[in-house]
Amino acid sequence: ETGVTQTPRHLVMGMTNKKSLKCEQHLGHNAMYWYKQSAKKPLELMFVYNFKEQTENNSVPSRFSPECPNSSHLFLHLHTLQPEDSALYLCASSLGQAITGELFFGEGSRLTVL
Amino acid sequence: AQSVTQLDSQVPVFEEAPVELRCNYSSSVSVYLFWYVQYPNQGLQLLLKYLSGSTLVESINGFEAEFNKSQTSFHLRKPSVHISDTAEYFCAVSETGTSGYSTLTFGKGTMLLVSP
């Protein structure tokens, strides 16, 4: 149990589907993150939320839509995805900013877009 | 924007042999540096970090890394590896975004493969 739980662990969807990834943390952290992990590439930061407010959107296409209803939950809504969006999506949380603190990661949601 | 370069995508090594995983970063300002480890089918976990003070930092499982400002490097080393050290290792540097909040920028990762 890492303290950060992601569901589903695996997801297969067609390009016209709408699906959502969920992330939940019970660590009392106030910052939450979405990262994309693709083979042979660095982890790509997608979104950052601090106290439920989005503070970073790293030029992510609009087919990815984040939602943070409270400091413990983070969603990534998916719509009209492309095959190149297939990747492992990692959620993380931290107490305060990441500059000196530790990020706690979930186990990831493996997404396959057909 | 800062960048992190991990020169080796894969490092095969025999059990009980020493290993060094290389990491270089680009930055003109003070940085904080991190090594994370990802075991198969798991998320990333913090292995060690350099914030200030001694340039040599250690983890609880025998890894160490040395911050070298002149060479902009933060290489990870272990004098004797175990099979259980097989994992992917990511070097990261902190970065302040346009919003003023800080995030981590990661390298591509180095897969450490330990064989008997």
DSSP letter, residue B30: -
Only one residue has tokens 């990834």, namely A21
Q: Does A39 touch chain B (CB under 8 A)?
A: no
- Closest alpha carbon to A42 in B12, B44, B98: B44
CB A56 to CB B109 under 8 A?
no
How many angstroms separate the CA atoms of B6 and B21, rounded? Answer: 8
How many angstroms separate the CA atoms of A105 and A91, rounded? Answer: 6
CB B104 to CB A40 under 8 A?
no
- The residues that bridge with A56 in the sheet, in sequence order, are A48
- What value does the mean pLDDT take over residues B85-95? 92
Q: Does B97 touch chain A (CB under 8 A)?
A: yes
| CB pairs < 8 Å spanning A and B | 65
Q: What is the pLDDT of residue B18?
A: 97
Q: Where is average pLDDT lowest: A35-49, A73-87, B39-53, B96-110?
A: B96-110
- Closest alpha carbon to B81 in B116, B107, B45: B116
Query: Does the structure show a pLDDT above 70 at A2?
Result: no
Tell me how far the alpha carbon of residue B81 is from its chain's centroid.
Answer: 15
Q: What is the pLDDT of residue A41?
A: 84
- What value does the mean pLDDT take over residues B87-114? 85
- What value does the mean pLDDT take over residues A70-90? 94
Tell me how far the alpha carbon of residue A54 is from its chain's centroid.
Answer: 13
pLDDT tier, B28 (very low <50, low <70, confident <90, very high otherwise): low
Q: What is the chain B residue with the closest CA to A46?
A: B103
Nearest chain B CA: its distance from A28 CA (Å) = 18
Tell me how far the alpha carbon of residue A101 is from its chain's centroid.
Answer: 19
Q: How far is CA B39 from CA A8, A19, B71, B86, B88, in A?
A: 19, 27, 29, 7, 6
CB A2 to CB B4 under 8 A?
no
pLDDT tier, A52 (very low <50, low <70, confident <90, very high otherwise): confident
**Contact at 8 Å (CB) between B102 and B2?**
no
Tell me which amino acid residue B116 is: P
How many angstroms separate the CA atoms of B73 and B40, rounded? Answer: 27
How many angstroms separate the CA atoms of A83 and A63, rounded? Answer: 13
Q: What is the pLDDT of residue A59?
A: 84
Q: How far is CA A72 from CA A33, A98, B9, in A?
A: 11, 17, 35
How many angstroms separate the CA atoms of A28 and B101, rounded? Answer: 19
Query: Does the structure show a pLDDT above 90 at A51?
Result: no
CB B107 to CB A102 under 8 A?
no
